[in-house]
Structure 1
């Protein structure tokens, strides 16, 4: 790397770090497993930098009012740039997963993304009983993929974008919010058609919105955004968490009867580095409860 490129690279890292907090206290709190348990289904060996050491983790939770088990595949924070060997490896992994529903919880793309990479990833999403639904993250806004553009890209793969909207899937209602960091979420609009007597799953990109979403009748909220800290140092916690993370760096949390799961995500931001924080493919098993 020549001196000019190195300077631009370090300047980019410095700017990225200013968009969040270094070693926030919340990142030193041990992450919790799902209410009915979490287990690693498969993992890729990784060295010091675990950037492409994909790990599939199954999380199980009981949902009151759910009539039948439901498997939800959550893919978050892919941060696509270009089509390359790493993307092909990820696509091969997710295509083989069996699920009933797939949800994309934002930041699928990032600055410099290509249509080729987006189409390759979206085409690899497994076909499921209830399809695939997406919400928007801050990087779609910041990387020239605002709602109109991103809805068009997703539409080419028959993936609806839920922007403060809900959809009735039969066994469960699905709500998707605008991003709390770069967008303007309207929760009244998002939940306007929800029947709180029936189970509801809510998707939101930035977990800081969880406390506003938590309410009776919404037993589960799925989020991403944090990358699990991306670089985690023993006893010190995450080197960096972006704004919008709140007190929720990764794992399971609760507020009243509502549970939040924050995925570690699949990609990277600020710097191409993951330490003690493998990228996560999350498979959630929702059981009648």
Structure 2
């Protein structure tokens, strides 16, 4: 059985690679290429979801948490578009903002570090701004560059640690963040260590397939990116670009044991500068106490 499953997976992977190899040529001969190259990557969408749970304190009902992810600045994603995204984030008036990794495509080659830091510093979130590492944030000697940008911009970097966010009467929820699974050193046990029992806990983890490990711990919601929603999706075939650790879970909601996972489609692109049936996304989660 295991051999048959491996054969099936290899065939599926081979088919996807063949399609991806030819998709640029196919699209270039049609108007679809212009749409996938220039129109859809600029079509910023906002998705809204209600997160309801009995452990969310009543004081947090109506609290808005906004997630953005995978900007890949410098790789066909420029400053002007980023400023537009920042303005949209503030227009949505979130209480909490989280960034789930991959800010710069090649951190050590990006020339406008100061401008990016300034733009991020203008994001308003009265209950806090939080960020984690993605694989591109560690890559290209970017570990220190990325941390410097985010901390100077007022983001709390979460690397195998958590914070408690409090509202009235001292009631709180926890936001935990893991190091990147591909190029970092994640430590899930350390990340959730000492979180009080019966605390509603949100985990930020760049790679969505890590939810299999996360679900072994007392956490309730995982927010991830990395997949770009497959970036190019075709009817009857599905996503063509699924990086390692985003092959099982690549877009939207999933349930793994007691854990709810949400995978954000991200803002930029990787590998090829195309998006098709997978527009860039900001996600707003409204928390709600469930009796």
TM over 0.5: yes
TM-fit CA distance, 1:150? 2.1
Partner of 2:67: 74
Give the Cα–Cα distance (whole angstroms) in 1 for the partners of residues 231 and 73 of structure 2: 16
3-state SS of 2:43 partner: coil
Per-residue CA deviation, residues 230-286 of structure 1 (Å, 9 max, x unaligned), is 011111111121011141011101112210000001111111111111000010112
Partners of 1:166 and 1:193 within 8 A in 2: no
Larger radius of gyration: 2
The reply to whether residue 244 of structure 1 matches residue 245 of structure 2 is yes
Change in CA separation of 1:208 and 1:23 when aligned onto 2, cut-off 3 Å: farther
Partner of 1:65: 55
Partner of 1:100: 95
* Number of aligned residues: 246
Give the Cα–Cα distance (whole angstroms) in 2 for the partners of residues 23 and 103 of structure 1: 35
The reply to whether residue 84 of structure 1 matches residue 79 of structure 2 is yes
Give the Cα–Cα distance (whole angstroms) in 2 for the partners of residues 153 and 93 of structure 1: 20
Unaligned ranges ≥5, structure 2: 1-12, 17-33, 167-171
Give the Cα–Cα distance (whole angstroms) in 2 for the partners of residues 217 and 23 of structure 1: 38
Structure with the largest fraction of helix: 2
CA root-mean-square deviation? 1.9
Partners of 1:23 and 1:237 within 8 A in 2: no
3-state SS of 1:172 partner: strand
The reply to whether residue 115 of structure 1 matches residue 113 of structure 2 is yes
Partners of 1:104 and 1:133 within 8 A in 2: yes
Partners of 1:22 and 1:240 within 8 A in 2: no
Partners of 2:36 and 2:274 within 8 A in 1: no
TM-fit CA distance, 1:215? 4.1
The reply to whether residue 282 of structure 1 matches residue 283 of structure 2 is yes
Partner of 1:32: none
Q: Which moved more, 1:78-87 or 1:169-178?
A: 78-87
Give the Cα–Cα distance (whole angstroms) in 1 for the partners of residues 227 and 85 of structure 2: 20
Partner of 1:156: 152
Partners of 2:233 and 2:277 within 8 A in 1: yes
Q: Which moved more, 1:47-56 or 1:116-125?
A: 116-125
Partner of 2:198: 197
Change in CA separation of 1:22 and 1:250 when aligned onto 2, cut-off 3 Å: farther
3-state SS of 2:127 partner: coil
Following superposition, which runs of at least 4 residues in structure 1 exceed 6 angstroms of deviation?
A: none
